[in-house]
Amino acid sequence: MPIVHPADLWRETGRWQQIDAEMGRFKDRAERTGKRYDVPASRCFGGATAYKDLLATDELTAGDIGCITKLEELITGDTLAGELMEVEFKQFLYWKENGFPDKAVFDVFGSGLIRSREGAVLLGRQRSGNLNEGWVYLPGGFIDPRDADADGRIDIRASVLREVQEETGLGPDQLTVRDGFLVTTIGQQLSIAVDLISKDDAPSLRAQVMRALAGDSDCELDWVVTVTTPQDLANLKVPAYAETLLRHVLGASS
């Protein structure tokens, strides 16, 4: 399962200079140099084709599962596995803006499912000038080459926690990380979400993040909101993958 992994993005943010030009090269089906990620997984809820809840274990299974477009077929045993490859940002945009012409490729990214102590979910709106400006979604982003360990496996939790802190100001010491992963696929997008619990109630959590955004004009987000029921999504511009996951999570908790 090759995954689009833009490079120009890190040049624009300055990360390219921090990491170097190799950018943690990945291996695709053409045998170009690469790194693997494996996400431990086990069960699905309700037989839905677009959503699965994956229970974390300490066992990681390697092996190329090929180019497959259905989430069910991405899971072998207790593992969701795939290989990352690096592409230029302009290639990513062409692929995305032309309706994902290569169906063997997925846009895979981490998402932070941040919940208040009573279960409300925090969503952020991307600031004007960014790739997804105006969309309201779960904090997260592209998998960074820094997330690969010495064996080439990706630490999805570390990736999500870093992105969450960059976008909301919430550090790992302010959030409890639940076991498992929440994986959602819509078309060629595949979100791997980490369940994060705050000790604060919803109003306090939102106020804390809004203060952080007010003090950081370079942050990708310009506004956040908390939602408690699927009906709260009605007037928000939420991408399909996030709406699918949120309707499951909020519906189950309501």
Mind listing the pLDDT tens digit for each residue in 68-103? 234 455 666 666 777 777 667 777 788 888 888 877
**The tokens 């791997």 sit on which residue?**
192
pLDDT for res 30: 41
Query: What whole-number percentage of the chain has pLDDT above 90?
Result: 39
Q: Say yes or no to pLDDT of 23 above 50.
A: no
pLDDT band of residue 42 (cuts 50, 70, 90) is: very low
Q: Can you give the pLDDT at residue 142?
A: 82
Rounded distance, CA 128 to CA 149, Å? 34
Cα–Cα distance measured from residue 163 to residue 168, given in angstroms and rounded to the nearest whole number: 8
- Return d(Cα 4, Cα 149) in angstroms, integer: 19
pLDDT value of position 234: 94
**pLDDT band for position 12 (cuts 50, 70, 90):** low
What is the pLDDT, as a whole number, of residue 77?
A: 62
Tally Cβ neighbours within 10 Å of residue 134: 11
Q: Higher pLDDT residue, 108 or 13? A: 108
Per-residue model confidence as pLDDT tens digits over 165-213: 999 999 999 999 998 888 888 888 888 899 999 999 999 999 999 999 9
What's the pLDDT at 6? 53
Long-range CB contacts (within 8 A, 24+) of 246-252: 246/121, 248/45, 248/46, 248/48, 248/51, 249/113, 249/121, 249/182, 250/121
- Please answer whether residues 165 and 172 qualify as being in contact, where contact means their C-beta atoms are separated by less than 8 angstroms: yes
pLDDT at position 63 is 27
For 199-211, the pLDDT digits (tens) are 999 999 999 999 9
Helix axis angle, 202-214 relative to 156-168, nearest 10°? 70
- For residues 25 and 10, the answer to whether their CB atoms sit within 8 Å is no
Q: Which 3 state secondary structure label does DSSP give 230?
A: helix
Average pLDDT of the chain?
74
Nearest Cα residue to 167 out of 124, 105, 137, 230? 124
Beta strand 175-177 with 189-198 is: antiparallel
Of the given ranges (14-18, 68-72, 78-82, 219-223), which has the lowest mean pLDDT? 68-72
Mean pLDDT of 239-247: 93
Q: What confidence tens digit (pLDDT) does each residue in 101-149 have?
A: 877 778 888 999 999 999 999 999 999 887 788 999 999 988 777 887 8
pLDDT value of position 218: 87
